[in-house]
Each structure stands twice: as C-alpha cells, then as structure tokens.
Chain A
Amino acid sequence: MSITSYNGSALIAMVGKNCFAIASDRRLGVNFQTIACDFQRIFKIHDKLYIGLSGLATDVQTMHQRLQFRHKLYQLREERNMRPETFASLVSAILYEKRFGPYFCEPIIAGLNDDGTPFICTTDLIGAKQLAKDFVVSGTASESLYGACESMYKPDLGPDELFEVISQALLASVDRDCISGWGGIVHVVTPDQVITKTLKGRMD
C-alpha cells in the first residue's frame, strides 16, 4: 500500500457562479483502522481562500503549519491578503523544494479573487499545478469522485445548489472507498459569506 493511502482521504472543490465550494471527508485512519471521525483536512488561509490537503495526515499538518506561517509573513510585509493564484504558486514552490523527499500530500487550493471570480487548482505531491474551470478532486477516493463530479456537475450554480451537488458527489464517492468517508465537511464561499456544514453520511 502506498504511503499516500496510509490515512485515507477524499477531497473536492467546485466552482459556481461567483462562488466556490470545497469539501472533504473527516476520517483519520491507520490503513483499515479508524482513529477518529473528526479530522481536519481543509484549512482557511484567509476569508476567501481555502486549502484542502489530502494524503498523509502528518504531512497535511506540517504543510498547513508551513503555509499558514508563510501567509502570515506575507500579510505582515505586504499588508494585504494573498491572491489565490499567488498562493497556488507558493504551495507549488514549497512542495517542489522537497522534490527528492516530498511531502506526501496533494493539495487543492480554492479561493475568490477581489472581483469575485472563483479560482480552483490542484497540484501533485511535488507541486505540478493543474488549473481547472469546473471541479478538482484529490485523495484515495479520487477515482469515484471524478465519476460523481463528471455526472453531477453543472456550470454556474448558485451557493445553495452548489452545496447540494458537492455534498452528493462526496457522499456518493466515499461509499465506494473503504478508507475515506465517515462524515464530511463542506464550505461554500461567496463574496459576502461562508457557509460551513458538516455532513453525517454513512458512519460505518
């Protein structure tokens, strides 16, 4: 078994009309043993920028700490928040720094620009950026997530519909993956508010 599937994860982000949603499962396991069902993989960088980190839990925590540190330094020096595109480049650079001994996590970056246009992007574990206009997925459930997103996604959805689509896609996908699931969390970000909801799903 690969080290990226040691803890198990499912991660997804979708673009709507002037909004985006990012969602993940909440399981923390060690192979097939479940340790907890309230693990955090999605982190807020600032009000309109979120990052989700799939893969090895320890590197998720290390990466989050390093990124938060770098963003705080940026805020102090520039007296403004990072643009999502800039942040994606930062993530990519931090990952590529460890080219020959990588952090075993694949991030999803989702944010809103100042003009309200959404931005989503993913990278592999050594920082190769992949931009998308519709949705991005990551984690051990990524194959089934692709299928679910491919059939459920529609462009230009409003926040409420987007929440419904992303939740259904997540819940449908994690049922076909043994090592992810056990509840989910969804953030829907619009220019003036963030809606965060936890999903129950199949708890077995």
Chain B
Amino acid sequence: MECIFGLVGDGFALVVTDTSQVQSIVVQKTNEDKIMILDSHKLLGVTGESGDRVQFSEYIQKNILLYQYRNGIPLSTSAAANFTRGELATALRKNPYEVNMMIAGWDKDQGPSLYYLDYISTLHKVEKGGMGYGAYFLLSLMDRYYEKNMSLEKALELVDMCIEEVRSRLVVSPPNFIIKIVDKDGARELAWRRTVEDKQGPPSAAAPIASPMAEDVSV
C-alpha cells in the first residue's frame, strides 16, 4: 500500500515515497516516480488515486510556474503550500481529488520547510510526517530517532530505518522507494532503494530458463 513521508534536517528537507503503481491486486510497475519537482526549490510528493495524483500535481506545478512567469518571482514554500490547499479545498466540495501530499521546499530567508496536506485539505507545517499505512510505523520511529537539525547522513540513516521497518512489518509493503532532497542547491533526486527491478520487455524476451528435462536429454 502507498507510503509517503518526509523530514526536515539541517538546511535540507527530504521527501520519500514508494514507487509502486497498483491496480486492484496487481502491481503494474515498481518504478513510478511520485515526487514532482515543482520548481527549482520545491518538491511535491503525492500519493492517492493515481489519476487524481497525476492530474492534480501537474495542475499545481503548471500554475506555480505560471505565477513565476507572470510576476518574475517564485512563490515561497508556504505560499505554494497554501495555494495547493486552496485548490484542493475548493475541489473538496465539488469533485474532490483523493490525494495526500507532503510539500517540501527551501527558501532563502526561511530555510527548509515541510508541509503536511491530506486529501481533505488539512494543511500543517511539520518537521517530520508520514501518511498511509506506513505512517503507523514511521511516526513512532521518527519520534524516537528524529533530531532537530540532523545531518544528511543521519537523516538518510533514519530514512533507511523507516523503509526497512515498512518492508519488514507491513503486509502490503511496496518493494521500491525513491528519496528526493531540496536544499540551497535546489530540488533533485537523491537515491533509490530497490529490492526488485521491473522486467524489460515480455517474459519471452528474457533468457530461456533451462528445463531439467532438457538437461536430462543432453546427458
């Protein structure tokens, strides 16, 4: 089941999501990037109904860029988060998007920040947070090991602990995760944590598996 979390460290913020695309009981792909880079210093991690996820995050990204082109200055992280909440809240009582989000950003004066925004548009600024079934394990783990202004090295250690916990304790755990970072140098992909690779091409394209029967014949 889908899992998203994030935390703020010393001069940076991290957003982590799983990368599974699931339809009913079938895992369709395991390398779906669910963290959108909104602009040079903003990340939008989104989980939820996959159609809504793509539509809504693209709508937000395009409108934030439009604001930037019109006014010549980028939105601050808090402004972008509040804009996103506004759009989600307006939609809530018309045709709601079923999406949960973690918004991370870095501003010159504010430094890094992280916002929690759920599918009914509850917006809250947090230092650490998570959503979905994974959050049942992650929140307590982060309460125990999170420190204010932790270094990137320590933060990644914590992220790995979280991923390990989800993989080992959650029945419906996703196999792969993506970690993105935003700091003074911008928003970018930091790392993947994979346990399975997507197969390339149809099964027939893979090297044929030698059958024990064939081996018998050759002997």
Contact status A61-B129, CB under 8 Å: no
Bound CA span A101–B92, Å: 12
Name the residue of chain A whose CB is nearest to the CB of B129: A35
A132 within 8 A of B: no
Within 8 A of B (CB), among A57-84: 57-58, 61-62
- Known pairs A28-B124, A56-B120; A61 contacts B85 (CB<8 A): yes
Residue interface bits A17-51, CB-to-B below 8 A is 1, else 0: 00000000000101001111001000000000000
Chain A proximity of B144: nearest CB distance (Å) = 14
Q: Are A33 and B139 in contact (CB under 8 A)?
A: yes
User: Whole-angstrom distance from the CB of B216 to the nearest CB of chain A?
Assistant: 58
Is the CB–CB distance between B129 and A58 below 8 Å?
Answer: no
**Does any Cβ of A come within 8 Å of B12's Cβ?**
no
Residues of A within 8 A of B124 (CB): 28, 35-36, 39, 57
Complex Cα–Cα for A33 and B142 (A)? 14
A30 to B135, CA, bound (A): 11
- The verdict on A58 contacting B136 (CB below 8 Å), with A35-B116, A35-B129 known, is no
User: Number of B interface residues, CB 8 Å?
Assistant: 16
Interface residues of A in 95-142 (CB under 8 A from B): 101
Chain B contacts of A35 at CB under 8 A? 116, 122, 124, 126, 129
Q: With CB as the reference atom, state the residue of chain A lying closest to B119.
A: A58
**Inter-chain contact A58/B122, CB cutoff 8 Å:** yes
Task: Say if the beta carbon of A5 comes within 8 Å of chain B.
Answer: no
Partner of A58, one of B120, B126, B135: B120
Is B123 part of the binding interface, using a Cβ–Cβ cutoff of 8 Å?
yes
A7 within 8 A of B: yes
CB of B126 within 8 A of CB of A36, answer yes
Instruction: Encode contact with A along B112-136: 1 for CB under 8 Å, 0 otherwise.
Output: 0000101011111010010000011
Most chain A beta-carbon contacts within 10 A, residue among B85, B118, B123, B124: B124
- Complex A-B, nearest 4 residue pairs according to Cβ-Cβ distance, in ascending order: A57-B122, A58-B121, A58-B120, A58-B122
- 10 extra interchain contacts, Cβ-Cβ under 8 A, other than A35-B124, A101-B93? A35-B116, A35-B122, A35-B129, A36-B129, A39-B124, A57-B124, A58-B92, A58-B120, A61-B122, A62-B89
List 7 A-B pairs, Cβ < 8 Å.
Answer: A35-B122, A36-B124, A36-B126, A58-B120, A61-B122, A62-B121, A101-B93
